[in-house]
Amino acid sequence: MKIDVLTLFPAMFAGPLDESIIKRARQAGLLDLQLHQLRDWTHDRHKTVDDRPFGGGPGMLLKPEPIFEAVESLQREKTRVILMSPAGRKFNQAIARELARQEHLLIVTGHYEGFDERIREALADDELSIGDYVLTNGALPAMVVIDAVTRLLPGVLGDDASSSDESFSHGLLEYPQWTRPAEFRGMKVPDVLVSGNHAEIAKWRAEQAKKRTQERRPDLMK
């Protein structure tokens, strides 16, 4: 998969995208990730990317010209252009799986008071939010999307079944898990998990996933 990110703050991505699973995916050639400075598509000496909104109001809006030029220069035939914005649909595991099937994602990160509306109307295939709160810019939300999508790419986790049992993969939270030792400070691992009966273990885990979801996220049970 190829992911291009259009941002005013490429340096913010350096740490998270150069470590752990994403680093290994890039090194293995499973992910081609490129960061692009939006100001590179400006043509004035101040590299202006924003301006005041028509009609008045607080803050500044990202101008259409540099974003249109950038997107048009980075787009391919099968590119999916995504705007990161609080006004977008709320990102979840189902959307991550949907995006992981794409060939090329072009993520445009917002800043200031948002985007000129013509960017949404003419360029965006999708608009995503990671939650009902406002951040300083779209860099952190873009990193969340990149991480969630990358770990779903075939071969990235080594064992592709690893992602299929995680929380939200089947609309439920993940079942509780334990590791060695079997007893720690009087707290014991449930007997079924050390029984060796894989059918009973699978049944127990399914029941526990439903129970945990009902207790902690009943909204997912609808």
The CATH number assigned to the domain with range 165-221 reads: 1.10.1270.20
CB 3 within 8 A of CB 156: no
| Residue pLDDT, tens place only, 36-66 | 999 999 999 999 999 999 998 888 999 999 9
AA identity, residue 90: K
Per the structure block, which two tokens stand in for 84?
Answer: 């990161």
pLDDT band for position 163 (cuts 50, 70, 90) = low
**Where in the chain are the domains?**
2-150, 165-221
* Alpha helix positions (H), the chain: 14-17, 20-27, 64-74, 93-100, 117-122, 139-150, 161-164, 198-216
Q: How would residue 166 be classed by pLDDT, with cut points 50, 70 and 90?
A: low
Interval 75-94 mean pLDDT: 95
Burial code (b: 16+ CB inside 10 Å, e: under 16) for 81-120 equals bbbbbbebeebebebbeebbebebbbbbbbbbebbbeebe
pLDDT of residue 46: 96
- Tell me 115's DSSP state: B
What CATH number is given for 2-150 in this structure? 3.40.1280.10
Q: 2-150 and 165-221 share one CATH topology?
A: no
Alpha carbon distance 171, 102 (integer Å): 22
The partner residues of 50 in beta bridges, in order of sequence, read: 62
Interval 171-193: pLDDT, tens: 888 899 999 999 999 999 999 99
Residue scoring higher pLDDT (165 or 10)? 10
Phi, then psi, of 84 in degrees rounded to 5: -90, 120
Q: Which tens digit of pLDDT belongs to each residue from 77-86?
A: 999 999 999 8
Q: How far is CA 72 from CA 41, 68, 82, in A?
A: 11, 6, 13
Q: Confirm if 104 and 4 have CB atoms less than 8 A apart.
A: yes
